[in-house]
Each structure stands twice: as C-alpha cells, then as structure tokens.
Amino acid sequence: MKTVGLFIVLLFGGLLVYGTIDFPPWGDPDTPASRHVSERYIEKTVEETGVPNMVTSVLADYRGYDTLGETTVIFAAGVCCAILLRRSSK
C-alpha cells in the first residue's frame, strides 16, 4: 500500500513539475497575464479612483464583486463554526 501511495505522489509531483516548464519567465512583462488589464490598472488607477495604492483599488473597486464574495465566505465560516460548536450550558 505504501509503495502505491509513494508511486501516486511521485507521479503527480512529476506532473506538477512538468507543468512548471511551460511557465513564462519570472517577471516577464510580455506574458498574457501581464498584458491583459494590468497595464490599464497601473496607468489609470490614480486618475480613476484617486487611490495611490493599486492593490487596494483593484481589490475593492475593480474587483469589488470578488471581495464581496470573500467577505461572505468569511461570514459563512464564522456562522458555520457557531452553528456546529456553540452549545448553551443550561
């Protein structure tokens, strides 16, 4: 059983390492991820939102819907924890 487990781990580890070969070079500005909307955010953030911190403007404004979902996930985690664990002592 241990041999099978080791084989599966090595197989998927090898697949993951093989996948990294296709990655673009580190910090390359011509990759698809850097060419899509990043340039627009970098150029227009201060002009459009008046916020010097690009991370904040992308997080809460351009990608505000995503952050709303994150907040809801945290809220749901807290509520689930309370529902599952909270017991009255009486």
Stretch that binds another protein, among 6-14, 15-23, 26-34, 67-75 (CB under 8 A): 67-75
Which candidate, 68, 66, 87, 65, places its Cα nearest to that of 76? 68
Contact between 39 and 58 under an 8 Å Cβ cutoff? The reply is no
Label each residue of 30-63 as H, E or C. Answer: CCHHHHCCHHHHHHHHHHHHCCCCHHHHHHHHHC
Binding status of residue 64 toward another protein by CB under 8 A: yes
CB of residue 33 to another protein, shortest distance in Å: 22
82/74 Cα distance (integer angstroms): 13
Binding map of another protein across residues 25-54, x = CB under 8 A, - = no contact: ----------------------xxxxxxx-
For another protein, which is the closer residue by CB, 19 or 52? 52
Binding status of residue 78 toward another protein by CB under 8 A: yes
Contact between 62 and 56 under an 8 Å Cβ cutoff? The reply is no
Q: Could you list the residues that contact another protein (CB under 8 A)?
A: 47-53, 55-57, 59-61, 64-65, 67-68, 70-72, 74-75, 77-79, 81-82, 84-87, 89
